[in-house]
Amino acid sequence: MQNKVLIIYTGGTIGMVQGKDGSLHPFALEGIYQAVPQLEMCDYKIDSCQLENIIDSSNMTPKVWVDIAEIIEREYQHYDGFLVLHGTDTMAYTASALSFMLENLGKPVVLTGSQLPLGMLRSDGRENIISALEIVAGKELMIPEVCVFFENRLYRGNRSTKVSAENFDAFKSYNYPSLAKVGITMTYKKHLIMPQPEGALKVWKQFDEHIAVLKLFPGITKELVDSILHTPGLKGAIIEAYGSGNALTEEWFINSLQDAIHRGIVLIDVTQCKAGSVKLRQYAASCDMERIGVISGHDITIEAAVTKMMHVLGNYGSDAERVRKMLETPLRGEMEG
């Protein structure tokens, strides 16, 4: 029986045309098929749909994540895999969010896009779409993960991050190897891919957006730190620290964090470095963070940390002990165990 794939178009550069003002705007899904006639040669059935309001991915919100997840939930039994066409700017956030939303995912959900619109001669979008569809169709291997495919590499979605606004190889996964490489042949690294789940798909749709990101820098002031940590309604904050999780050791800073924790705000320590991991207590500069109860984010990306915190707080926010345990524990392969 012929495999079936559903393309979900959300907007982004891959489906944009140049407007009269010279700027790029998203256009309707039909234009993608005109730009990629090779799709007619595929030996699997391709259907498509698009969000009610296609957007530039800079306007991505948790509500749109839910819209995408609900399409997958509704059509899950009808297709062998799903290809999400998405803008590159927030693609890693959406991939991470979907990974937490789609528990017991047993089919490939792959996000791809392009750096140049399909309507341009040198667009990288055609090859990204064609190769990603081959993966999504699952004829060689059924990958039970949310992934990002870009410029011949397949990455675990919640391990990916955008690293370039100019190069075609715009994404990297610094702390986890790629899952597949596409050349003349497709080479899958099967030992790195998540196992097939035993349970049925469960879709989590709640996010708590009352979080903040506190990025440290030399000269950061008490006023700035306190203003962020006293944001009305704040429930969690991600501290982008130095190196292996190090932060300033001044008394006012530690006291500000400790006060936030006493007020019930969850704090996670992640590194500003693209590669590497938080290792609390490796240096004296992180000992106080561990002592007062800041959670180690290990080697999680900022995109996965943000979406995981919103997911966990949204679904388990009333259970402080469970929230902490889930934030410390890998849920979908997003960080080291």
pLDDT in the model for residue 3: 92
What b-and-e string marks burial along 6-19, b requiring 16 or more CB atoms within 10 Å of the CB? bbbbbbbbbbbeee
Does residue 222 sit in the same domain as residue 197?
Answer: no
44 has a pLDDT exceeding 60: yes
Q: Is 13 a catalytic residue?
A: yes
Does residue 190 sit in the same domain as residue 256?
Answer: no
Say which of 10, 13, 90, 94 is annotated catalytic.
13
CATH code, 305: 3.40.50.40
pTM, rounded to two decimals: 0.94
Mean pLDDT, to the nearest integer, of 190-202?
96
Does residue 54 sit in the same domain as residue 152?
Answer: yes
In 3D space, the residue among 55, 67, 8, 64 whose CA is nearest the CA of residue 32 turns out to be 8
Does residue 161 sit in the same domain as residue 143?
Answer: yes
Does residue 192 sit in the same domain as residue 297?
Answer: no
pLDDT in the model for residue 35: 66
Tens-place pLDDT, residues 73-109: 999 999 999 999 999 999 999 999 999 999 999 999 9
Domain ranges, residue 216: 211-328
> Is residue 333 in a domain?
no
Does residue 141 sit in the same domain as residue 157?
Answer: yes
39 has a pLDDT exceeding 90: no
Alpha-carbon gap, residue 158 to 150, rounded angstroms: 14
Please count the structural domains in the chain.
2
Does residue 182 sit in the same domain as residue 222?
Answer: no
> Is residue 334 in a domain?
no
Mean pLDDT in the chain? 92
How many Cα atoms sit within 13 Å of 177 on the Cβ side? 11
pLDDT in the model for residue 98: 98
* Residue 57: exposure state from Cβ atoms within 10 A (0-12, 13-18, ≥19): buried
Output the DSSP codes for 57-76: GGG--HHHHHHHHHHHHHHG
Residue 122, SS3 per DSSP: coil
Does residue 263 sit in the same domain as residue 162?
Answer: no
